[in-house]
Structure 1
């Protein structure tokens, strides 16, 4: 059988089992959120002043960015679980979250004094951020990789990376309610590094667990 014929056959089989695959994905993401929320509540919990923080744009903006990342990466992950998907087109949707945070950084640099930029970037919770976002996200990543095994991705490492970004987005969304560093400068630096750790783990694991 030619390679293109095999891919078409797998794609047709994937369409025939679309309902179970959809159930696997939504079940995995629901379980991922539950596990991440449980770990978050046990280990950290929301910040003490969350009610007043929720009235500020910087605090709310963190959630806009992290939820956008998780949603766009999840959509791409589901696409990449099918063997016929060409990743070059869908990948452009991943630019939405980075564009949002870079716009936030540009506004931050324009409205705050330059002498405060360094302190806002470093913040007070950088090590906590780098520790707990991966820790909260490792369980969701494992569940999403298990769901990915139900598909037949042509690019398993890339699909694994998307699973890492989804897990990172979920973990970062929860962590954002604990973190007292609301500056976009802090978010674009430390949140990005923490989420990238999960994306790297997903890439390495995806190459192993999602090959066919």
Structure 2
């Protein structure tokens, strides 16, 4: 049997669709619970969370991280089903980086150039690069386990998108602890941490999601 024929047969398999849909729903819930548990046990909210919520820059971090979690999550729900087109969902993955780039540009337009470097470096780079991957472990494991109930046509890509979704969840939790609210800081360090998780997801996905 040709690969294309096998994919078409799997795409028409209703039990597979139902099974992976239920598994991914449970993965989202389980991933959020695991990440949240580690977050509150390890670091928790920043000390000035009350006053921070009154600032636009703090709240905007969640616009970016939630945009990543939602768009990547939507792609995860489709990428495990063979023969299902990712369009237009794949394009929505650009929403978070475009929002962040726009915010960073706006900040550079209103802040003096000699402050850009300090804002970008910030004070919590090490914690960002540590805790976003740490908080991603649970969601990534849940997504990869759920995707095994389906049949991704590209295991590596499926693992990478799972990593994006997991890091979106993790970054949302971490953003409530991080005291660096500058879009320039978020533009530099958050993507590095997210890229690490995405790369891990790609490598693991390529191995465990093979069929």
Relative to the length of structure 2, the TM-score reads 0.97
Shift of 1:127: 0.4
Instruction: Report what 2:7 is aligned to.
Output: 7
Secondary structure of the structure 1 residue equivalent to 2:181: coil
Partner of 1:44: 43
Residue 134 of structure 2 corresponds to: 135
Q: Determine if the alignment matches structure 1 residue 159 to structure 2 residue 158.
A: yes
Structure 1 CA distance, aligned partners of 2:16 and 2:121?
48
Cα distance in 1 for partners of 2:17, 2:87 equals 23
1:139 CA displacement: 1.5
Q: Deviations over 1:4-56 (max 9, x none)?
A: 2211101111x344333221111011000000000000111000100100000
CA distance in 2 between partners of 1:66 and 1:90 (Å): 17
Tell me the CA shift for residue 86 of structure 1: 4.2
Distance in 2 (alpha carbons) for counterparts of 1:193 and 1:65: 15
Once the two structures are superposed, the pairs formed by residues 193-204 of structure 1 within 5 Å of their partners are: 193-204=192-203
Structure 2 counterpart of 1:171: 170
RMSD: 1.2
- TM superposition shift of 1:162: 0.5
- Decide which moves more: 46-55 or 78-87: 78-87
For residues 204 and 15 of structure 2, the distance between their equivalents in structure 1, rounded to whole angstroms, comes to: 27
Which structure 1 segments of 5+ residues have no match?
none
Q: Normalising by the residue count of structure 1, what TM-score does the alignment of the two structures yield?
A: 0.96
Mapped to 1, the partners of 2:162 and 2:136 lie a distance apart of 10
What CA distance in whole angstroms lies between the structure 2 residues aligned with 1:167 and 1:180? 22
1:3, distance to aligned residue in structure 2 (A): 2.3
Q: Which residue of 1 aligns with 2:143?
A: 144
2:77 is matched with 78
In terms of mean alpha carbon deviation, does 86-95 or 178-187 score higher? 86-95
Q: Tell me the SS of whatever aligns to 1:151.
A: coil
Structure 1 partner of 2:120:
121
Counterpart contact for 1:85–1:154, Cα < 8 Å: no
- Give the match's secondary structure for 1:170: helix
Give the Cα–Cα distance (whole angstroms) in 1 for the partners of residues 89 and 102 of structure 2: 22
Q: Which runs of 5+ in 2 are unaligned?
A: none
Rounded to whole Å, the distance in 2 between the matches of 1:66 and 1:91 is 17
